[in-house]
A and B are shown apart, each in its own frame.
Chain A
Amino acid sequence: MGETSWQTPDPVNDWTRQFMGPHPSVLYAASYFPQLGMRQTTAAAPRIGLEAPRVRVLQDTVRGGQRTVRLRLVSPREAPVLRLLVHSVMGRLTATVNGRPLSGTDAAVTDDTSVRWRFDYYASSPRGIGVTLRLAAGPSVLLRVVDCSYGIPAELAALRSAPGGNAARRH
């Protein structure tokens, strides 16, 4: 079973402090917000039985020095956004999603994060999406699939004051 946490790339305010508690930690990672830098504030979160997204490898072959990986990504909780992140350096990478091409990119270009390539897919169906990656054959490839839904889980948000509510106005 995995870990659960609260994370925010923003300074802790009255709203997020309700969840984070008085002593959150600072984490340097690009886990969920690679576009927003590496510094995150984090704290332990309760488990509420969320099911992680599923990723199934349908094909992983090499031909002529090119590796082709075909995946099926599904969000069991039917989150509206599916995200695929590639954390390995591998040179040029091209991809299709449900048969439609995405713009290619040089995944070897480095920045401050370990994320080398990513995309977000909105309004995913319960069947999920099919992704085909084409990249140079070589070392292992670390993939992360993240699904995103909007808002705080009702059973947790109900215990706190809404943004702009009493807690925020006290200061």
Chain B
Amino acid sequence: MLPGGISDTMLTEAVLRLPPSGKQDAGEEASDPL
């Protein structure tokens, strides 16, 4: 249910688990492809 009283909605989801901090390469920054 979305705010505003719309009761029929279709949802899709993606799940992402970030690793514990320090496991990734500090300072590395990917470029935004968009």
Q: What residues of chain A have their CB less than 8 Å away from a CB belonging to chain B?
A: 2, 9-10, 31-33, 36, 50-63, 67, 69-70, 72, 74, 77, 79, 81, 120, 127-128, 130, 137-153
Contacts and interface: CB of A to CB of B under 8 A. Distances in A.
Contacts of B31: 58
Contacts of A50: 10, 12
Contact of A53 (B9, B12, B24, B26): B12
Interface in B6-27: 6-22, 24, 26-27
Given A52-B12, A61-B29, 17 more contacts: A31-B13, A32-B13, A36-B1, A50-B10, A50-B12, A53-B14, A55-B14, A56-B30, A57-B18, A61-B27, A70-B29, A139-B21, A140-B18, A142-B18, A144-B14, A149-B11, A150-B2
Contacts of A149: 9-11
A51 B15 contact: no
B1 A62 contact: no
Interface residues of B, number: 30
A1 to B, nearest CB: 12
Interface residues of B, dominant DSSP: loop
A interface secondary structure, majority: strand
B15 A142 contact: yes
A146 B34 contact: no
Contact of A62 (B12, B16, B26, B29): B26
A111 B32 CA distance: 35
A82 to B, nearest CB: 11
A43 to B, nearest CB: 15
Contacts of A10: 1, 7
B31 to A, nearest CB: 8
A49 to B, nearest CB: 11
B15 A143 contact: yes
B4 to A, nearest CB: 10
